[in-house]
Amino acid sequence: MSIEIDILNGDASWPIAEPLHQAVWGPQLITGKPWAHVKWANADLRVLIETPKDGLVCHVGIYFRTITWNGQKVHVGGIGGVCTREDQRGRGYATTAIEAAVHTIRANEAVRFALLVCEPHNAAFYAARSWLPFNGEVYCEQPEGRIRFTYMAPYVFHIVRAPTLGTIDLCGLPW
């Protein structure tokens, strides 16, 4: 089977990604989730996987930001908005897209580690791909101000380091 993997500008590629994102994370599908009201950051880049037969089947957003970890500024890469069309799951598309995203993050020499947040039912998926639970506190911005982000579990990926304890401030919206 052949697939096409594109890594595109986040804003410019949103019209391509939006229908898939809405099919997986649309308002009707997240109603009742504790994080349904969260305002999310827009991706800086997007990994898009397409097949000749099915079109866009998977998306991963890539984020770059200077955050603070234990009060020290550190540049990180983030992964968010991971979604695969329901009828295309279990084929390795998300793993391939995440690997492409991590490869892209590693290419940014300033990045010290990668960070994502996920629902508990996805924890084993990320752990199996070498993501480590971050067991500290995570803060972020929301329209109402700075909050402690407790809606999903944070995970880190080793680039230069992989801190698993302490306090992280995303210094902006979560991804």
Query: Per-residue pLDDT tens for 121-130?
Result: 999 999 999 9
Domain presence at residue 91: yes
Residue 19 is assigned to a structural domain of this protein: yes
Q: Any idea what the CATH number is for the domain that residue 136 is in? A: 3.40.630.30
Q: Name residue 79's beta-bridge partners.
A: 62
CB distance 81 to 175 below 8 Å: yes
Over 70: is that where the pLDDT of 13 sits?
yes
**Assigned domain for 63 exists:** yes
pLDDT at 2 over 90: no
Residue 19 vs residues 57, 114, 151: alpha-carbon distances, Å: 11, 26, 25
Give residue 26's pLDDT: 85
Mean pLDDT of 32-58: 96
What is the domain range of residue 85? 4-169
Burial class of residue 114, CB neighbours in 10 A (0-12, 13-18, 19+): buried
The per-residue pLDDT for 170 is 98
Q: Is residue 175 part of a domain?
A: no
Mean pLDDT of 151-163: 98
Is 126 domain-assigned?
yes
Would residue 113 count as lying in a domain? Answer: yes
Domain assignment of residue 94, yes or no:
yes
The 3-state secondary structure of 127-151 reads HCCCCEECCCEEEEEECCEEEECCC
pLDDT at 101: 98
The total domain count for the chain is: 1
1 has pLDDT over 70:
no
Structure token digits, residue 28? 């009707």
Give the distance from CA 62 to its chain's centroid: 6
pLDDT at 25 exceeding the cut of 80: yes
Q: What percent of the chain has pLDDT over 70?
A: 99
Judge whether 174 lies within some domain. Answer: no
